[in-house]
Amino acid sequence: MTYDVIILGAGASGMMCAAQLNEKSDMSVLVVEGNERAGKKLKISGGGKCNITNVNVSANNYLGDEQLIESVFAQFSKDDLLSWLERKGLEPVIRKEQYYFCPKSSDEIITILMRASQKSHYLYDTKIVSLKKEEHNGGISDIFVLQTDKGDYKAKKVVIATGAKSFASVGASDIGVRLAEELGHSSKAFMPALAGLTLQPQAFWMKALSGISFFAQISVEGKLLKEDMLLTHRGLSGPVVLSASLYWTKGDIEIDFFPKQNIREVVHNNRKLLSTAIALPKRFTQALLAVVNINDKPCTSYKEEELTQLEDAFHHYKLSPAGTYGFAQAEVCKGGVETDSINSWTLESNMVEDLYFAGEVLDVTGELGGYNFQWAFSSAVVVANNIVEK
């Protein structure tokens, strides 16, 4: 049998693409998945509650081709996603005033996606090996042949939705990029992103403060990010650091450990010790003061020169990370199939007709906060709509 569409990967984008094709057409759809079930990353995401999307979503929250990202969100926005989920009976809850989560468990969204795509045939425990167009009478036909470890499957159209290679423990691989390259596409090497940052020896003092967490701001590559930071025995983690790792490649990042108020205002007319006066964990303040050679003393006793040093230490701390925690712990990968050879409206390959891409396999990566599922879902809907319309 030749399927109308084969979707490679039953992750967030693969399931959404299947659901949309089933809702909008009678096309025969096969979804091929290496795991024994669908949506394993969805399942573990957001601490088991899946951070589906964010109150504010724009191309500004992503690394990738701005015009292509905007074109995808213009066709299926965050509000469209929320309305679709609501129609299926899921009303995500907002946490910390910006993150949309499943109310109880990520199983809720997985169940919705599976139910909406039940007309598709899911093939599990099946590893994708290669993809090519069928040879016919000495030439190339329009039909794709997908080679798997369980046999070959044919389709008129193929959607590569195999994600990226971080968290291999849940079946992730770089197969999508390899298939695309074999078909003539270029790609940017996958790199860990939304991962903790490791430290160089100058900053090892922070390791001794493992477990301490506070609100901070990081400037990296022209981006200003604010959220909680966590000090760990390996280095820096927490939401603001994970998002910073998306933009960091090498060199310095600048940390504002106390973005809520200037340190000059904290010390003004205050007779308490600085470590008591400032609303930061006391052990952290004491350690930072020791590192920059400033005494912890009553705030009113700091001289002008020391105040300038304090400003530098607390608001403009320069840190050069050694690296990231690596692929095994990165929530996503930056890099992937380059988008300049992809139609930015349809997400169809400009090189191979009827070949489409959705989700993290493309060179589009979001910050922490639901942006990557929003991208996976929006790109999947765009692909499905354009397949149906074509």
Ligand X SMILES: Cc1cc2nc3c(=O)[nH]c(=O)nc-3n(C[C@H](O)[C@H](O)[C@H](O)COP(=O)(O)OP(=O)(O)OC[C@H]3O[C@@H](n4cnc5c(N)ncnc54)[C@H](O)[C@@H]3O)c2cc1C
Residue 12 interacting with ligand X (CB under 6 A)? yes
Considering the complex, state which of residue 127 and residue 207 has its C-beta at the smaller distance from ligand X. Answer: 127
Q: Which residue stretch of 31-39, 80-88, 181-189, 256-264 sits at the interface with ligand X (rule: CB under 6 A)? A: 31-39
CA quadruple 87, 346, 73, 52: dihedral positive or negative? Answer: positive
Angle between helices 371-389 and 66-75 (to 10 degrees): 70
- Contact (Cβ atoms closer than 8 angstroms) between residue 185 and residue 349: yes
Is residue 127 at the binding interface for ligand X, with CB under 6 A as the rule? yes
- Closest-CA residue to 389 (of 342, 339, 341, 345): 345
Least separation in angstroms between CB 368 and ligand X: 8
Q: Return the biggest CA–CA distance within the chain.
A: 89
The enclosing H or E element of 131 equals strand 128-136
Shortest Å, Cβ 256 to ligand X? 25
Q: How far is CA 65 from the centre of its chain?
A: 15
Binding status of residue 10 toward ligand X by CB under 6 A = yes
Q: How far is the CB of 382 from ligand X (least distance, A)?
A: 13
Q: In whole angstroms, how close is the CB of 371 to ligand X at the nearest point?
A: 6
Nearer to ligand X, 14 or 321 (CB): 14
Q: What is the pattern of x (binds ligand X, CB under 6 A) and - over residues 133-172? A: ----------------------------xxx---x---xx
- Smaller CB separation from ligand X, 172 or 206: 172
CA 77 to chain centre: 17
The answer to whether 187 contacts ligand X (rule: CB under 6 A) is: no
Near ligand X by CB under 6 A, which window of 199-207, 209-217, 318-326, 370-378?
370-378
177 binds ligand X, rule: CB under 6 A:
no
**Contact string 323-362 vs ligand X (x = CB under 6 A):** --------xx--------------------------xxx-
Residue 41 CB, shortest distance to ligand X, in Å, is 4
Q: Which stretch binds ligand X (CB under 6 A): 70-78, 79-87, 195-203, 366-374?
A: 366-374
User: In angstroms, rounded to a whole number, what is the distance separating the alpha carbons of residues 199 and 205?
Assistant: 10
Alpha-carbon span 69 to 110, nearest angstrom: 25
Count CB atoms within 10 A of the CB of residue 303: 8
Residues 189-199 as b/e (b if ≥16 CB within 10 A, e otherwise) read ebbbbbbbbbb
For ligand X, what does the binding mask look like between residues 50 and 89, x meaning CB under 6 A? xx--------------------------------------
Residue 243 sits in the site that holds ligand X (CB under 6 A): no
Which residue among 7, 69, 128, 274 contacts ligand X (CB under 6 A)?
Answer: 128
Answer for the pair 182, 131: CB distance below 8 angstroms, yes or no: yes
Closest-CA residue to 336 (of 365, 378, 356): 365
Q: Which of 30, 34, 225, 263 binds ligand X (CB under 6 A)?
A: 34
Estimate the crossing angle of helix 371-389 against helix 12-24, to 10 degrees. Answer: 30
Alpha helix ranges (H) inside 55-106: 66-75, 78-87
Strands 355-357, 151-160: pairing is: parallel
- Taking the least distance from each CB to ligand X, the nearer of 255 and 381 is 381
Nearer to ligand X, 72 or 161 (CB): 161
Judged by CB under 6 A, the residue of 27, 29, 175, 273 near ligand X is 175
Q: Is 135 exposed, middle or buried (0-12, 13-18, 19+ CB in 10 A)?
A: exposed
Of 5-13, 278-286, 310-318, 339-347, which part binds ligand X (CB under 6 A)?
5-13
**Which residues of this chain interact with ligand X, rule CB under 6 A?**
9-14, 32-35, 40-41, 44-46, 50-51, 127-128, 161-163, 167, 171-173, 175, 331-332, 359-361, 370-373, 376
